[in-house]
Amino acid sequence: MAVKIFLNEDEMPRQWYNLAADLPSPMQPPMGPDGPVPPEAWGSIFPMNLVEQEYSTERWIDIPEEILEILYRWRPAPLKRAVYLEKMLDTPAKIYYKDESVSPAGSHKPNTAVAQVWYNKQAGTKMITTETGAGQWGSALSFACSIIGIPCKVFMVRISFDQKPFRKTMMQTWGGKCIASPSMETNAGRGFLEKYPDTPGSLGMAISEAVEAAASDPSGTTKYSLGSVLNHVLLHQTIIGLEAKKQLAKAGIRKPDIVIGCAGGGSNFAGLAFPFIQDKINGDDITIIPVEPTSCPTLTRGLFSYDFGDTACTTPLLAMHTLGHSFVPAPIHAGGLRYHGMAPLVSQTVVEGLAEPVAVPQLECYEAAVKWARSEGTIIAPETSHAVAVTIREALKAKEEGKEKVILFNLSGHGHMDLLGYAKYFDGELKDYALPQEEIEKAESELAGLPPAAISKTGKW
Ligand SMILES: *Cc1c(COP(=O)(O)O)cnc(C)c1O
């Protein structure tokens, strides 16, 4: 029996898959104060070749050869069968997973970091800015910038900067400049510091700093880069699902019954699931599950509305599931899942009924991560543990039903930099947290002043 299924370099997908071409109900455009935002309006912060991908409705987009050559460092990523977990659970289900933890930065994020930096290089960008919360995106971007040769500046949320010094060291090792945010480098940062001198910072503040640092460069050659949410980011991640399809075929499996991914901004979920959503649109029976924390239940309890991507309300409005742009999530350890919004493409698959989101409490996720470590062996990221928790739920359901279901999930990253969360779990310091209803009501009133998003669906799923 094959436990690890590999592809050769020449079997790697040569095109990314763009779900926007096949969505049965159309996406809604980003909105500004004067109506739909035209592509050119993004030009001050993104290079136009990436803006073109953002707006594209072409089904297949060629992956440039030079990007493939960089990805060969770890791709094609292995598809593995979790036979040891299957045995522990005594389930008839077959559990497969894509192992994205094998990338240099330890998660799926380098898949888009490499592509974004490469397109920036083509467009003549001389400096890239970004923000990072827990540090995963900042390290992925620093890696890509070092390989391709563009300096990068990462605004890291102050509290993580202090608590996670090794992420900063990873960025430094790849030549990235990591600055605690709020900083004295931008007007926004100086403003935040004047108002709240002891602030721990937030992703919202860091985004404002990184965007300002790019937009205010008079030469126009500093650009900003985002690690999730936007269409072009999800596009670059589809290489995960496209590889998985080829690998399942090698294992003699025509289609999975269930596809699972954790969802923060939506990129690793989309990367695995979108190629299977295409099959679902074309008639296959596949259950597709994005998983989020009960403390940040964007898809399961949030509103589908136009909302800002950042707390300072500087980005265009996106039609997405959201908890409101001023939402401050509880300090759970799955840092990458603490975002108020969701990728508009992922949100539309949920509106359409093609994906069925589930929220899981924190303790069940850590229990799942420990079961995983004690069967499969690896220590996974707290974000990833959300996908494993639902995989375990589904495997046990298959056992009850006596069905030999094929479950496929995305192992989005390892947890070697997240051991503080594990330590707190073992010390009994973590608890479950469900978002109080008042928070949803607060979001409702915050969103009431923004344009409504149309809920359009075919009713087929
Ligand atoms: C960033 C991150 C996530 C969440 O981001 P998505 O865009 O939703 O994929 C999940 N897992 C890991 C390991 C991450 O680093």
Residue-wise pLDDT for 430-445, tens only, equals: 999 999 999 999 999 9
pLDDT score, position 133: 87
Atom of ligand 1 nearest to the CA of 384: 11
Contact, 443 vs 322, CB < 8 A? yes
Contact, 292 vs 346, CB < 8 A? no
**383-399: average pLDDT:** 98
Angle at 271 between CA 332 and CA 261, to 5 degrees: 40
**Which CATH architecture is the domain 4-10+59-106+231-447 placed in?**
3-Layer(aba) Sandwich (3.40)
The pLDDT confidence band at residue 200, using thresholds 50, 70 and 90, is confident
CA of 403 to the centre of ligand 1 (A): 31
Which of 234, 235, 268 to mutate for ligand 1's pocket (most ligand atoms within 8 Å of CB)?
268
pLDDT score, position 57: 97
Reading phi first (left if > 0) and then psi (alpha if -120 to 50, else beta), residue 418 is in alpha
CA–centroid distance for 97 within its chain: 17
pLDDT score, position 87: 98
pTM, to two decimals:
0.97
pLDDT score, position 273: 99
CA distance 45 to 209: 12
Q: What is the percent of the chain where pLDDT is above 90?
A: 89
The pLDDT confidence band at residue 10, using thresholds 50, 70 and 90, is very high
Residue in the structure block whose two tokens are 């500004």: 32
CATH class held by domain 110-224: alpha beta
pLDDT score, position 111: 98
Dihedral sign (CA 367, 372, 374, 378): negative
Contacts of 301 by beta carbon, 8 Å cutoff, 6+ apart = 323, 359, 435, 440
Contact, 110 vs 225, CB < 8 A? no
pLDDT score, position 338: 81
Instruction: Tell which residue, 423, 410, 274, 413, has the closest CA to residue 352.
Output: 274
**211-222: average pLDDT:** 96
Pocket of ligand 1 (CB under 6 A): 107, 109, 136, 228, 262-269, 336-337, 381, 383-384, 412-413
Q: Find out whether the peptide bond into 30 is cis, omega within 30 degrees of 0.
A: no
Residues of the chain with CATH 3.40.50.1100: 4-10+59-106+231-447, 110-224
First CA to last CA distance, the chain: 35
Which of 346, 383, 418 to mutate for ligand 1's pocket (most ligand atoms within 8 Å of CB)?
383
Mean pLDDT of the chain: 95
- Total number of residues shown for the chain: 461
More confident residue, 59 or 34: 59
The pLDDT confidence band at residue 90, using thresholds 50, 70 and 90, is very high
CA of 400 to the centre of ligand 1 (A): 31
Stretch among 49-58, 151-160, 200-209, 414-423 having the lowest mean pLDDT = 200-209
pLDDT at 318 over 80: yes
pLDDT score, position 418: 92
pLDDT score, position 326: 83
